[in-house]
């Protein structure tokens, strides 16, 4: 498929995100897409994302859709590009920043959480761990579609070995998190943290409810989730009720 690059709408360590328009109408592609691009010499993460999105294709409407990839030569530089659904509502993190008092309504939290959990369940059932769940990687579409999980550049197979020299995911793991897995994720505060589906859930809760990291030296994400029913840090009744519903749903993703 031939396409035309439009305005830049985002950027990150991987490269840039631009609007993309097909050169000719095709019922298989939307009239407006997003294209993620990076130099071919630094394209490993983006190629990994493309491969994973291909495997996850059609498994869940809560996962962003990929329409293909290609290479291009622009301004003397060879680029690798992947074409994705365009999220007109932007990232959930941006919506939170622009919300009144920088908070979501409880009804919105329920709606977003339901969509995210559906997407995570499909990812985990397909044998993958996202490893970078955060509000910046949850994209807003129209009200019917809700939100979708994006940015799979750090995702891994549940039992793939990962180099301990490669930082993965947010850098605010709780101290001393432990789990039984051969999948290793290095962070500044936790050199040998492990990536399991529980960690995807952990990151989501941290972003949505902004709790503090536990000071316990032996607590695991699954144990922390089980403690939510007794959590006293949620001063808002609505948040408390949402957490009571969310904890068992998260544990159901991967019972221990």
Residue 118: closest CA among 142, 138, 93: 138
Contact 189, 172 (CB under 8 A): yes
Is residue 94 among the annotated active site residues?
Answer: no
Task: Give the SS3 label for residue 100.
Answer: helix
What is the Rg, in whole angstroms, of the alpha carbon atoms belonging to the chain? 19
Please tell me the distance from the alpha carbon of residue 196 to that of residue 54, in angstroms, as a whole number.
21
Any alpha helices (H) in 11-169, and if so which ranges?
Answer: 44-55, 92-98, 106-125
Q: Is 78 annotated as a binding residue?
A: no
Using N-to-C axis directions, what is the helix angle for 237-253 and 197-209, rounded to 10°?
170
Could you say which of 54, 70, 101, 132 is catalytic?
132
Please tell me the distance from the alpha carbon of residue 250 to that of residue 242, in angstroms, as a whole number.
12
* Per-residue CA distances from 105 to 95, 159, 178, 203 (Å): 12, 37, 33, 20
Residue with token string 């544990």:
251
Residue with token string 């101290």:
175
Q: Give the catalytic positions in this structure.
A: 132
Annotated binding site for ATP: 36
């Amino acid at each position: 498929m031939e396409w035309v690059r439009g305005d830049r709408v985002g950027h990150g360590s991987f490269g840039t995100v631009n609007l993309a328009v097909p050169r000719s109408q095709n019922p298989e592609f939307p009239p407006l897409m997003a294209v993620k691009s990076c130099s071919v010499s630094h394209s490993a993460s983006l190629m990994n994302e493309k491969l994973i999105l291909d495997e996850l294709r059609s498994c869940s409407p809560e996962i962003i859709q990929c329409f293909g990839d290609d290479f291009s030569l622009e301004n003397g530089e060879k680029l690798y590009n992947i074409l994705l659904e365009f999220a007109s509502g932007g990232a959930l993190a941006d919506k939170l920043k622009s919300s009144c008092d920088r908070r979501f309504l409880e009804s919105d939290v329920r709606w977003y959480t339901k969509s995210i959990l559906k997407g995570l369940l499909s990812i985990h059932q397909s044998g993958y761990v996202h490893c970078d769940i955060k509000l910046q990687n949850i994209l807003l579409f129209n009200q019917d579609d809700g939100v979708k999980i994006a940015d799979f550049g750090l995702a891994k197979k549940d039992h793939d070995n990962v180099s301990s020299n490669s930082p993965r995911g947010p850098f605010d793991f709780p101290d001393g998190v432990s789990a039984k897995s051969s999948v290793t994720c290095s962070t500044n505060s936790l050199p040998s943290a492990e990536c399991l589906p529980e960690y995807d859930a952990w990151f989501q809760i941290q972003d949505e409810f902004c709790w503090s990291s536990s000071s316990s030296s032996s607590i695991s994400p699954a144990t922390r989730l089980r403690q939510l029913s007794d959590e006293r840090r949620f001063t808002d009744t609505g948040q408390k009720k949402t957490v009571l519903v969310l904890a068992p749903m998260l544990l159901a993703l991967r019972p221990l």
